DNA sequence: TCTGGGGTCCTAGGACCC
DNA sequence: TCTGGGGTCCTAGGACCC
């Protein structure tokens, strides 16, 4: 179970960057609305059950952060500027940023509208040169978009992302191989990619609070307690991450869901919402010339218990009628509706493939 | 304080087949 | 009558990420 030596060699001769736009949605709003600059800006759902998507740094000073319920945010910062997200605008700027990154890196992996990995290995192994190239990239982003970003540079993805988090906003962090242990060891385990609330709690109960604890923990203990992710976490704790950039990947599912402002128990209303959501997912599917073989619905009850029910098709489809029929069927026969009603309804499509794959090549006639 | 919406990946159990 | 092992596919739920 010792790491293969080739892994170490590979790790040392790669330079991966991670770029993270600072408080992206809020920063765009401040860019487009000069009167918002210097104000606490909170972007997110404005309904009674909305949550914060992004808070500007001014708003973070009030303790506001992503995923915080809007109701709480409004209490903590009554004078803030509250706005709905404008995804089309964010996408536009996001594409501009990616075009800048592509000038410097051949391989790029988009994580979200505000984050991307890129590979600078082609600029050679010399850290001084890599540093210069990445600085120039960061300068171009700021000059052309008037927005700041934070950049991390390291021998692998995990460390590059960590680097961009260590110094923000407007940060620049380069993690050289010799610095890895010193940087990682004192960090809380929750800083590791893939350690969320649940895993952090489990690690804490094992007495593993810092990355160093995780690095030195017996592997069999980690595997026993956490399964396969235990092994993976210890690798990361050692600064080892051999995953390569995935490039541009096709999405494997499409879904739309919506949370009602108030719980709904009226069956007709629920059915018409299924129809509305179905039309949207089917529209996305057709717009990208795709077909799906799985239709799924999702229901969340007032107590937050969430269920999904899915059905499979023998052949791929992009027909709104077929999808709607299946979705309504799942709803009518597989979902229990109580007097309490439901708080969320969702429709999803899975097993997605190109529309050209819809029909099996039964006959070789066309050859 | 009361919990969005869009995804990905993993796991476990059951059905089914050989 | 008691009891195989392996493999695949499907479903549902859960953790995690931004």
Output the pLDDT for position A318.
95
Kindly state whether residues A201 and A176 are assigned to the same domain.
no
Q: Within 10 Å of residue A258's Cβ, how many Cβ atoms?
A: 14
Write down which residue in A180, A202, A218 finishes a domain.
A180
Residues A102 and A25 in one domain: yes
pLDDT band, residue A357 (cuts 50/70/90): low
A155 strand B contact, CB < 7 Å:
no
**Residue A50's pLDDT band (boundaries 50, 70, 90)?**
very high
Nucleotide with smallest C1' distance to residue A51 CA: B4
The pLDDT of residue A136 is above 70 = yes
Round and report the angstrom distance from CA (A252) to C1' (B11). 19
The arithmetic mean of pLDDT across residues A321-335, rounded, is: 96
pLDDT tens-digit profile of A177-232? Answer: 999 999 999 999 999 999 999 999 999 999 999 999 999 999 999 999 998 899 99
Whether residue A242 lies inside any domain: the answer is no
Q: Which residues 195-224 on A are within 7 A of strand C at the CB atom?
A: 195-200
Domain harbouring A299, CATH code: 3.30.1490.100
Q: Is residue A1 part of a domain?
A: no
Kindly state the percentage of chain A with pLDDT values over 70.
94
Between residue 48 and residue 87 of chain A, the positions with Cβ below 7 Å from nucleic chain B are 48-51, 53, 66-67, 69, 71-72, 75
pLDDT tier at A12 (50, 70, 90 boundaries)? low
* Distance, Å, A350 CA → B11 C1': 19
User: Is the CB of residue A230 inside 7 Å of nucleic acid strand B?
Assistant: no
Looking at every residue in chain A, the average pLDDT score rounds to 92
CATH at A118: 3.30.70.270
Query: Is the CB atom of residue A259 positioned under 7 angstroms from any atom of strand B?
Result: yes
Is residue A361 in a domain? no
Q: Is A115 known to be catalytic?
A: yes
Question: CB under 8 Å to A213, separation ≥6 — which residues?
Answer: A189, A207
Q: Is residue A359 part of a domain?
A: no
Is it the case that residue A244 has pLDDT exceeding 60? yes
Report the number of distinct structural domains present in chain A: 3
**Cα-based distances in Å from A314 to A65, A178, A311:** 45, 54, 10
The answer to whether residue A301 is domain-embedded is: yes
Residues A62 and A109 in one domain: yes
pLDDT attached to residue A129: 95
- Domain holding A277, by residue range, is 251-354
Q: Are A30 and A164 in a shared domain?
A: yes
Residue A71 has pLDDT above 90, yes or no: yes
Do A163 and A15 sit in the same domain of this protein?
yes
Nucleotide nearest to A257 (CA to C1'): B5
Nucleotides of C under 7 A from a protein CB: 10-18
Nucleic acid strand B within 7 Å of A334 CB: no
Residue A134 pLDDT exceeds 80: yes
Local confidence band at A7 (pLDDT 50, 70, 90 cut-offs): very low
Task: List protein-proximal bases of chain B (any atom < 7 A from a CB).
Answer: 1-12
Same domain, A173 and A211: no
Indicate if the pLDDT at residue A364 is higher than 70: no
Q: Is the CB of A346 under 7 A from strand B?
A: yes
Beta strands A41-44 and A81-83 are parallel
- The CATH number for A193's domain is 1.10.150.20
Could you tell me if A170 and A260 lie in one domain?
A: no
A353 touches strand B (CB under 7 A): no
Q: Which of A29, A58, A115, A324 is catalytic?
A: A115
Tell me: the pLDDT tens digits for A96-125?
999 999 999 989 999 999 999 999 999 989
Asked whether residue A149 is domain-assigned, the answer is yes
A116 CA vs B6 C1’ separation (Å): 17
Q: CA of A197 vs C1' of C16, distance in Å?
A: 9
pLDDT in tens, A248-263: 888 999 999 999 999 9
Q: Beta carbon of A67 within 7 Å of strand C?
A: yes
Q: How confident is the model at residue A76 (pLDDT cuts 50, 70, 90)?
A: very high
Q: How far apart are CA A157 and CA A15, in angstroms?
A: 9
Q: Is the pLDDT of residue A8 over 70?
A: no
Radius of gyration of chain A (CA): 24
Tell me the pairing of strands A353-354 and A342-350: unpaired
pLDDT of residue A106: 87
Burial of A110 from C-beta contacts in 10 A (0-12 / 13-18 / 19+): buried
Q: How far is CA A97 from the centre of its chain?
A: 17
| pLDDT, position A248 | 82
């Amino acid at each position: 179970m010792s790491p293969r030596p080739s892994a170490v060699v590979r790790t040392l001769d790669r330079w991966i960057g991670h770029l993270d736009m600072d408080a992206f949605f809020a920063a765009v709003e401040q860019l487009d609305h000069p009167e918002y600059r210097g104000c606490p800006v909170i972007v997110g759902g404005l309904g009674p059950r909305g949550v914060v998507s992004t808070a500007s740094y001014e708003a973070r000073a009030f303790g506001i952060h992503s995923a915080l319920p809007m109701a709480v945010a409004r209490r903590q910062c009554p004078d803030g500027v509250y706005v709905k997200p404008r995804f089309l605008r964010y996408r536009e700027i996001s594409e501009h940023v990616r075009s800048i990154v592509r000038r410097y890196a051949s391989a790029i992996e988009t994580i979200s509208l505000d984050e991307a990995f890129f590979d600078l290995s082609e600029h050679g192994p010399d850290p001084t040169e890599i540093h210069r190239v990445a600085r120039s990239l960061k300068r171009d982003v700021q000059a052309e978009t008037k927005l700041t970003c934070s950049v991390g540079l390291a021998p692998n993805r995990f460390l590059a992302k960590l680097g961009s988090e260590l110094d923000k906003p407007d940060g620049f962090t380069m993690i050289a191989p010799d610095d890895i242990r010193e940087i990682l060891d004192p960090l809380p385990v929750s800083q590791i990619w893939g350690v969320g609330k649940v895993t952090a709690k489990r690690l804490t109960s094992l007495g593993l609070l810092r990355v160093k604890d995780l690095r030195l923990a017996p592997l069999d203990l980690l595997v026993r307690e956490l399964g396969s992710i235990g092994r993976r976490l210890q690798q990361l704790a050692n600064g080892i991450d051999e995953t390569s950039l995935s490039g541009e990947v096709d999405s494997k599912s499409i879904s739309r869901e919506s949370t009602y402002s108030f719980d709904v128990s009226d069956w007709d209303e629920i059915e018409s919402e299924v129809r509305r959501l179905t039309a949207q997912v089917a529209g996305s599917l057709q717009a990208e010339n795709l077909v799906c073989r799985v239709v799924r619905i999702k229901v969340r009850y007032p107590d937050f218990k969430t269920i999904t029910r899915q059905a499979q098709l023998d052949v791929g489809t992009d027909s709104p009628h077929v999808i709607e029929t299946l979705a309504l069927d799942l709803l009518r026969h597989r979902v229990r509706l109580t007097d309490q009603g439901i708080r969320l309804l969702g429709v999803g499509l899975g097993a997605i493939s190109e529309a050209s794959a819809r029909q099996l090549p039964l006959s070789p006639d066309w050859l």
